[in-house]
Structure 1
Amino acid sequence: MIIDLLRHGEPRGGVRYRGHGCDDPLSEQGWRQMWQAVGESSVDWPWDGVLSSPLARCRDFAEALCARRPMPLRVASGLREVGFGDWEGLTREQVRGGHPDEYRAFYADPVANRPPGAEPLADFRRRVEATLAAESAALGVRKILVVAHAGVIRAVIGWVMDAPDAAIYRIECDYGSISRVSRDAERGWRVGFTNRRR
């Protein structure tokens, strides 16, 4: 099984904390980033099926992709981004200016110092892992594109690497980038590459 993990493109509204409580659609630039990531020709697409987060910045593109070349699409709520609690929709400048102590604490230790009301990282990772296992099995194909968020992609790579919670924050994941994990009977799960952009 090969699973390619595509991060959504730039959303409308600029850079801000977008978890599963902030559902901005893609900007024009975001659409361009995603089509560039997969390539314009559906003939070259290697996937047999698509899994997507239900949030608009992922789902809209997944639906457009599957309209261009029909293949099975499953939208899974468990692939939505980690919840940022009280920081949802705020920019870094707003958090840094309004909550400087919380901001500093989060960037010093993002596992122990979650934003107020945020989803615990361990719960988020369990949600993503369980969803990916169940939904990829239900899709029933061997080459899957997952259209999701930076947090989801980091969680999957962390799961494959058996990495601790703090380590997944060191994984770069740009807009419109693709990372790959795969599984075979002899070696189990492997990371092929991360954060690749065309």
Structure 2
Amino acid sequence: MTTNSSYKNIYLIRHPKTEAPDGVCYGNSDVFPGESSLMEATEKVRSKLNEVDLDACYSSPLSRCRLLAERLVGAKNVDTNELLREIDFASWEMKPWSEIPQEQQKEWGDDFINCKIHGGENFFDVQKRIVEFWEQVTRTATREILVVSHAGLLRALLAHLLDASPRKIFAIEVDYGDVIQVKWSNKSYYKIKFL
């Protein structure tokens, strides 16, 4: 297989830990990170990027991503993109799991790939958004790109890139502040590395 000498590095970053109360369902809600977790994630990402000279930075508009992106590259250099938002749990957003009926949770848990019992998005809706973003960003002329988003979206993208089962992709752990590098030449040739 031949490689394209003109490749780009795309660094996928997960946001810091939030201040959401324990036991609460949230996705699309704008939950802020704590200052200490924001600082910790910033240092973690910087150490893994090793002073890469970035050409572009894209972020989910949600504060837990945007604030990290701004710490990394400066507010004026962050391009927020709605396609990078976390899954929308709709009627479940910011509800304690204990208040969501068990039968609804079971139905969703049995088939979260397709289920929309909460009235929001399912796995394929999220994957469609992140793949649309991916196709846009890989067509740009920029070479060193930072993307700050959410674990759900990053896993949905990895499932697409690896042609992996959506259910099995959740076996991949993506912690707060983790960095995944995709060295991209074209749709037929790319490498994925956890930094």
Q: Which range, TM-score by smaller chain? A: 0.7 to 0.9
Q: Report the AA paired with residue 93 of structure 2.
A: E
TM-score by length of 1: 0.81
| Equivalent-residue separation in structure 1 for 2:118 and 2:158 (angstroms) | 26
Task: Report sequence identity in percent.
Answer: 27
1:107 match: secondary structure:
helix
Partner residue of 2:193?
A: 192
2:19 match: secondary structure:
coil
- Of 12, 17, 27, the residue aligned with 1:5 is 12
How much has 1:9 moved relative to structure 2?
0.4
2:95 match: secondary structure:
coil
Q: Report the AA paired with residue 95 of structure 2.
A: L
Contact persistence 1:85–1:115 (CA under 8 A): no
User: Structure 1 residue runs of 4+, over 3 Å off?
Assistant: 40-43, 112-115, 135-138
- Of 121, 135, 143, the residue aligned with 2:123 is 121
| Structure 1 residues 185 and 168, CA gap change in structure 2 (3 angstroms) | closer
More displaced stretch, 53-62 vs 163-172: 163-172
Partner residue of 2:64?
A: 57
Contact persistence 1:136–1:144 (CA under 8 A): no
Partner residue of 1:19?
A: 27
| Equivalent-residue separation in structure 1 for 2:170 and 2:96 (angstroms) | 18
Partner residue of 2:144?
A: 143
How much has 1:62 moved relative to structure 2?
1.2
| Equivalent-residue separation in structure 1 for 2:106 and 2:57 (angstroms) | 38
Contact persistence 1:161–1:191 (CA under 8 A): no
How much has 1:147 moved relative to structure 2?
0.5
| Equivalent-residue separation in structure 2 for 1:142 and 1:126 (angstroms) | 24
| Equivalent-residue separation in structure 2 for 1:164 and 1:90 (angstroms) | 29
2:139 match: secondary structure:
helix
| Equivalent-residue separation in structure 2 for 1:39 and 1:25 (angstroms) | 20
How much has 1:47 moved relative to structure 2?
2.8
- Number of residues paired by the alignment? 187
Contact persistence 1:6–1:178 (CA under 8 A): yes
| Equivalent-residue separation in structure 1 for 2:132 and 2:162 (angstroms) | 16
Contact persistence 1:30–1:176 (CA under 8 A): no
Contact persistence 1:106–1:114 (CA under 8 A): yes
TM-score by length of 2: 0.82
How much has 1:170 moved relative to structure 2?
2.5
Alignment deviations for residues 99-122 of structure 1 (CA, whole Å, 9 cap, x no partner) = 111222323332243442121321
Partner residue of 1:85?
A: 90
| Structure 1 residues 45 and 38, CA gap change in structure 2 (3 angstroms) | farther
Specify every segment of 5 or more residues in structure 2 that has no aligned partner in the other structure, as ranges.
Answer: 1-7
How much has 1:182 moved relative to structure 2?
2.1
| Equivalent-residue separation in structure 1 for 2:49 and 2:88 (angstroms) | 34
Q: How large is the Cα RMSD of the aligned pairs?
A: 2.6
1:106 match: secondary structure:
helix
